[in-house]
Structure 1
Amino acid sequence: MSADSIRSPWFWLTALALVLLALFVLYPLLSIVGGSFSGEGPSGWAQLVSTAKYREAVLNTLILASSVTVICTLIGVPLAYVTARYSFRGKALIALLPLITLVIPEVIAAQTWLMMLGNNGLITKFLREFGIRLPSFYGWFGLITSMSFIYYTYVYIGTVAAIGKFDVQLEEAAQSLGTPPGRARLKVMLPVILPAILASALLVFTMTVGNFAISIILSHGMPLLSVATYQAAVSEGTTSITMQSTLASVSVLIVMSVLFLNRWIVSRGRYEIVQGRGARPVPLEGLRGLMVAAPAGLVVAISLLPLVTIALGAFTKARGPVMQWGTWTFENLERVFVTAPGPLLNSLLYAGIATFISIAFSAVVSYLVVKKPNVLTTWVDYISAIPLALSGTVLGVGLLAAFNGGWLPLTGTSAIIVMAYVVRRMPFGMRNAQATLHNIPNSIEEASISLGSPPVRTFFRVVLPIMLPAVASATILTWTTTVAELSASILVYSGGRETLPIQIFRLIDSGLMAYASAYGLVLVAVILIPVILANRLFGIDVFSSK
């Protein structure tokens, strides 16, 4: 490394970024691994093998994640295909509405599914009057159903984009050689879009493994990895400290193993999206259009039921856990804004600070990685991507293990909540910023410097304004996911620092669904209003970054 490189301010900025990433990403991760071997008696790994409930939690999690992934693929891929290849009445709504499920927090989704199909749910009681008894929504049925109708959207988005980029001339060439249309799609198009399907399926699998909100609300005592990790984290004693680290380590190993398996499958063949002339949607009228639109519309309608239920529940009068459907009141919302506004204020404060820090850090570090590479930037790039493989529960355990006392005691403070938000959502900003920077010619920056502008000033006056649309999009995306965060924050928060998702979770646990609905409706509004304003006023498409 040359002396000029060492004297460069960019090198020292990179070194500072590496130190911060090592402190708040690597150190908690290493604390988890080390904690699994600490404590008195046998190591956490020995306890994991010898204890039936832990073995069952791992097995149940693998079965649940595999089942949800398969179902989401079976729903998302056909929905993407009919949306991309056919034109029918109502297509615009069917193509757009699934995206709304992405901004419905999982804790609200779990709550509203219970309000509809729980033991005393609205639909359950309605069908019971006609002698129809639904199976209990707790356990496997509820977990698989609710997660499938949330996560299929990720498969749908990834697949519809791949189909849209596929050159239909390849398919037509196969048909001209005598291959039937259906077989041509299987033999030509499917292998080309397979990497996109696998990447989306991997995302669903990892999200299911790390899911906390739905798992703890609907599992009803069934052992699951994320729930067992949380229970070990909130317990007392050395054994629990060891087990929370061990269970968190198992979660990371599962995600890493599936990631390597995905890459191995893709590497065994050459897959490439050949961009060219996309297929023109085939118009469907009459019965054929109805046969396509009806199943697609049903899937979308079911996935949007949580949003409708939360709106109704927020204005429904209740006596304790008993909701009086059809009787309306504003008392529930009065509690949110007047009686107990703390969770709302905390969410706005913590998420606002975390979003600002995350976006500022991501913009600067992405600039260093793409435009000012040096001996340290590769490490910065690798470490900044680690949170993508960590669930919120794992991150919360890592932060507790790393900063519970010692030289930097953050446990019990607002700072650890903000830090959990920043680390968990930082990769969103990094991805957006790096994608934009790769498209900015170096000649623009070089021209500014040649005219006498210092490098740092050039970054702020030339590069940053060009990055602004991507930064704004990443800001909205980071805000929407941060303000809905539960799995990490519920482990690190302390009394008086409850956020909206934590308050909703506590109310659900107490059976106070009406109050939970009011807080949930406000949370959805806090998420959707910035998205709508960004789209209407600035033309920012938040979902394009996904």
Structure 2
Amino acid sequence: MKINWWPWGFLTLLSLVLLLFFVFYPLGTLFVNSVRDESGAFSLSGFITLLQDSEYLLAFRNTLVLGVSVTACTVAVGVPFAYMVARYDFPLKNLVAVLPIMTIVIPEIIVGQSWLLLLGNNGLVTNLLAGVGITLPTFYGWTGMVFSMTLVYYTYIYLGVLAALRGFDGQLEEAGLSLGTSPLVTKLRVLVPVILPAVLVNALVVFTLVVGNFALSVVLGSSVPLLSVMTYNAFVGEMGGSPTLQSAMSVVSIGIVAIVLFFQKRVVERKIYTMTQGRAPAVVRVRSGAAVFYTLSVGVIIVLSMLPLLIVFVGAFTETSGPVMRWGEWSLSSLERALRGAPEPIINSLKFASMATVVGVAFAVLVSYLTIKKRNAFTQLLDYIVVLPLTISGTVLGIALVQTFNTGWLVLAGTSGIMVLCYTVRRLPFAVRNASSTLFNISDSIEEASISLGVSPLKTFFKVLLPAMKASIISAAILMWVTTISELSASIVVYTGGLETMPIAIFRQVDGGRLGLASAYGAALVSVILLPIVVAIKVFRINLFSSK
């Protein structure tokens, strides 16, 4: 394929070099460090140590069990939810169809903190029930992790299955019924095989997210050993020492995700069915008892999913005495302490997220344009490398960046630069995919017409393409902002004194039992997350939460 070297060939190579240096090179460093000893010689001592460590093997098993358990629960919640929304019309359906998508913007550290405020050892519900003689089992451990992660991740199953159901041709079901097959058997033979790939693909996504989860695992995991937490502890314990063990742990975590992605590519994608254009089944209006059942069923899930947003604000205005929350006694002391006494985490979060959003969106727009409109052999490699961060957890990425940029000619460890780099690299794939959404629908003839009139390719890009991409660029910026400002798993690894952000502050306050101050930082974090979303919907008229 012929390459137009100026300007797009040059920009493609420049983008590729940047990605190789800041994404591929750190991962390569991580792999190299996992197979050499302190002297630099080749060694598998890190992996051998892990195989001989009973606690690590237990953490490996627990991680797989947690992944399977949460995935099964999200399927059990998300599939019926999607089926009810797609096939039935019931009171408040339009509202409950959209609200699950909003749970994606709730930071996981907020979710964990909020459930501790309710069901923790000194939680509101725990104390209320204890007052009437009912003792709840501890929320720490398996119960808390499976419960909270299910409410966080079921949305992925819901969205995937909902899209599959809305794309299903209802005439297939009608044909089955016309042949005398019962409705249940028809669904099992016709509907299930069509939506099963959507279930499996999104279930694998959930599994990888659970395996790499740090926030909920460290806050609620208590004494349950897990890979993500153990990898972080190994990094903290080995700071200044040999990186072999932490690197080996990180490589194993990457290996788990790689196996899952391989399974998805080789097994799941072979079972995808292509539907010809047809009409979706008619939506059935339910009444009386059935309507109440459907509304309550999805309503309970929605309330539980959205409850952390309410609880974190209530906790921010609640009087505290050390680790004790004095429910019903209102105070501004926690907020005043967070906003006036210790505002650095808020300032840092705003600063780092703003810089990462600007850099990330600008680079994402360029990469998406190159990979879609200026395709060549290099852009294919560019498109592959840009999604690499999706295959690794935040903790592993943070370790890779610290190991790579703590020595040499470019030292970023301990500076604001590594925070911005960490945010940008971690969330860049989402921004690229979002920025690409409009480019597929922009005809090449528009750009060619501008160039034929004597306008240079660069001017055409800025004057023709960018205005047409306005909505997707704003959406990418909001997505970048929301995900970076709530990032914990990678930033907890790369930050040093003076670079603390709101999620890190929340984690430290929860760990220290200061839930009032944690709630104050949580309320500030949720506020700066929701503000751009409201602006996008009300000012720019961008429907970020469309259920269509």
Question: How would you bin the TM-score normalised by the shorter chain?
Answer: over 0.9
- The one-letter code sitting in structure 2 at the alignment partner of 1:422 is T
- The one-letter code sitting in structure 2 at the alignment partner of 1:33 is F
Corresponding residue of 1:107: 109
The alignment's C-alpha RMSD in Å is 1.7
Shift of 1:393: 0.6
Corresponding residue of 2:280: 278
Shift of 1:237: 5.9
- The one-letter code sitting in structure 2 at the alignment partner of 1:222 is V
Q: Deviations over 1:379-408 (max 9, x none)?
A: 101101111111111110110111111121
- The one-letter code sitting in structure 2 at the alignment partner of 1:423 is V
Corresponding residue of 1:433: 435
Corresponding residue of 1:151: 153
Corresponding residue of 2:264: 262
Q: Retained in 2: the 8 A contact 1:72–1:155?
A: yes
Q: Retained in 2: the 8 A contact 1:474–1:542?
A: no
**Which SS does the other structure have where 2:377 is aligned?**
coil
Moved more, 201-210 or 96-105: 96-105
Moved more, 479-488 or 85-94: 85-94
Q: Retained in 2: the 8 A contact 1:473–1:541?
A: no
* Change in CA separation of 1:104 and 1:292 when aligned onto 2, cut-off 3 Å: same
Moved more, 123-132 or 509-518: 123-132
| C-alpha distance in 2 between matches for 1:267 and 1:418 | 36
| C-alpha distance in 1 between matches for 2:5 and 2:479 | 36
Corresponding residue of 2:363: 361
Shift of 1:542: 2.6
Alignment partner of 1:526 out of 520, 523, 528: 528
Corresponding residue of 2:539: 537
Shift of 1:544: 5.5
**Which SS does the other structure have where 2:134 is aligned?**
coil
Corresponding residue of 1:18: 16
Corresponding residue of 1:45: 47
**Which SS does the other structure have where 2:326 is aligned?**
strand
| C-alpha distance in 1 between matches for 2:303 and 2:239 | 47
Moved more, 163-172 or 423-432: 163-172
Q: Is the aligned partner of 1:349 residue 2:351? A: yes
* Change in CA separation of 1:17 and 1:508 when aligned onto 2, cut-off 3 Å: same
What residue ranges of structure 2 are gaps of 5+ in the alignment? none
| C-alpha distance in 2 between matches for 1:7 and 1:101 | 44
Q: Retained in 1: the 8 A contact 2:98–2:545?
A: no
* Change in CA separation of 1:473 and 1:237 when aligned onto 2, cut-off 3 Å: closer
Corresponding residue of 2:178: 176
* Change in CA separation of 1:461 and 1:262 when aligned onto 2, cut-off 3 Å: same
Q: Retained in 2: the 8 A contact 1:535–1:541?
A: yes
Q: Deviations over 1:383-438 (max 9, x none)?
A: 01111111111110110111111121100000000000000110112112223212
Aligned residues: 544
| C-alpha distance in 1 between matches for 2:277 and 2:524 | 43
Corresponding residue of 1:241: 243
| C-alpha distance in 2 between matches for 1:545 and 1:353 | 31
Shift of 1:273: 4.0
Percent identity, aligned pairs only, is 51
| C-alpha distance in 2 between matches for 1:48 and 1:286 | 59
Q: Retained in 2: the 8 A contact 1:233–1:240?
A: no
Alignment partner of 1:82 out of 81, 84, 103: 84
Q: Is the aligned partner of 1:324 residue 2:309? A: no
| C-alpha distance in 2 between matches for 1:450 and 1:438 | 21
* Change in CA separation of 1:238 and 1:502 when aligned onto 2, cut-off 3 Å: closer
Write out aligned runs for 1:389-400 (5 A): 389-400=391-402
| C-alpha distance in 2 between matches for 1:544 and 1:232 | 42
Alignment partner of 1:471 out of 470, 473, 495: 473
Q: Retained in 2: the 8 A contact 1:101–1:304?
A: yes
- The one-letter code sitting in structure 2 at the alignment partner of 1:32 is L
Shift of 1:275: 4.2
Q: Retained in 2: the 8 A contact 1:473–1:545?
A: no
TM-score by length of 1: 0.97
Shift of 1:128: 1.6
| C-alpha distance in 2 between matches for 1:237 and 1:301 | 42
Corresponding residue of 2:167: 165
| C-alpha distance in 2 between matches for 1:508 and 1:234 | 19
Moved more, 416-425 or 145-154: 145-154
Corresponding residue of 2:27: 29
